[in-house]
Amino acid sequence: MKKTKIQTIRKTILLLLCIGMVVCAGVSFYKSRHMKEPVVLSPGIKEVKTLGQYFPGIKGSINDSNVYIAEGKKSGGALLILGGTHPEEPAGRLAAWILAENAVLEQGRLFIILSANRSASTVTRLGGAYPPDYRILTNWGSQKFRMGDRWSNPLDQWPDPEVYIHFPSHQELAYVDIRNLNRAFPGRPNGTLTEKTCFAITQLIRKENIDIVVDLHEAELQYPVISTIVAHERGQDLAAMASMIISGTEDFRIGMENSPPELHGLSHREIGDHTKAISLLLESPEPMLDACRGRTNRKLLLEGKDAFLVKAYKHGLLFEKIDKNGWPIEKRVGRHTSSLLQIAELWTAEHPDKGIIINHIPKYSDVIKNGVGAYLFNPAEASPERLEWE
């Protein structure tokens, strides 16, 4: 009788512990999914639309993301920046954030999407042990950002097919990539959430007569397409010139890759094929994505330091160098801001009547010196009409 009572107590304790773990996990998941990030609008932002205004089929959904629009006094061309295509690649999203909070245009129009796949920012990679969020230090405290995944949240799009057949090429891709925004362009109006999101972005490009689209990404050091500009054939001259000038004048080097004509679904291929815009994609190094990394935590995300990757580099197993200094977030963000400014400058020099002149954006050396947080503004001090939420 005594033994039975002890067993009952043990079972009860274990049950309560399990319930407690489920509740704690549920609260954490709920907070991550519903967390809102403040955006203090730059004086240059004249209007904020949503993707649903370009394609009603996505209106009201989790991916009805904000589109921040800056416009110069002088008419010119139009540039679209995609941040958050893969939210697990934070430098791209942060670089776009700096533009949304700082950019003032002298000529042309600038369209910024901070959460191209907002659904993917509400979940982290299964089995990846990624932190759900991170903080960027500022001179007024810190700002918290969601981390995210490469794919749309299964809560928003499920189930995955055994084989994903891309539209309209009919190319067979990995089943999970049906939730990958960078494998679903140009999208379709009657498709999945991810395909509808791509269709909405494609409609924005068409309706706003966008001249250049730049998709901001990060890549693992084990991936050969890294530290580069990937360009559709109509943007190869622009990308090649930007690569040469940046590598010769900045404190970092960036290469240039041609978009593979037979690899479908990617922004640098499909946007160029299905719209009049030049489509480019920027890749900066992110050690946290590498399979041979050590402990996956916020420190690795922000500092980019990992002894295992340094050893892998010494053995010639990586496509990008890494040493004890790692790849801190400042380097990764600064690469993107400098590259964007150089692309706009070259475009303007070649097309003065369609120029895109962007002011008040830091270059690589500025971000390294001052930190990312120096270009984020305190939402508590912002007027309500100049404050948006992601």
Tell me how far apart the alpha carbons of residues 230 and 268 are, in angstroms, rounded to a whole number. 7
The tokens describing 299, both together, are 């420190």
Residue corresponding to tokens 């981390």: 147
Among 91, 80, 127, CA closest to 284: 91
Encode pLDDT of 280-289 as tens digits. 999 999 999 9
Question: What is the reported pTM?
Answer: 0.95
Mean pLDDT of the chain: 96
Give the confidence band of 27 by pLDDT, cuts at 50, 70, 90: confident
Among 79, 19, 33, 91, CA closest to 289: 91
pLDDT of residue 5: 83
pLDDT of residue 1: 57
Answer CATH for 68-389 from 3.30.2420, 3.30.450, 3.30.420, 3.40.630: 3.40.630
Tell me how far apart the alpha carbons of residues 297 and 320 are, in angstroms, rounded to a whole number. 21
**Res. 107: pLDDT tops 60:** yes
Tell me how far apart the alpha carbons of residues 62 and 64 are, in angstroms, rounded to a whole number. 6
Encode pLDDT of 48-103 as tens digits. 999 999 999 999 999 999 999 999 999 999 999 999 999 999 999 999 999 999 99
Encode pLDDT of 116-170 as tens digits. 999 999 999 988 889 999 999 999 999 999 999 999 999 999 999 999 999 999 9
E-assigned strand segments in 74-124: 74-82, 104-113
Residue 286 contacts residue 91 (beta carbons within 8 Å): yes
Domain positions in the chain are 68-389
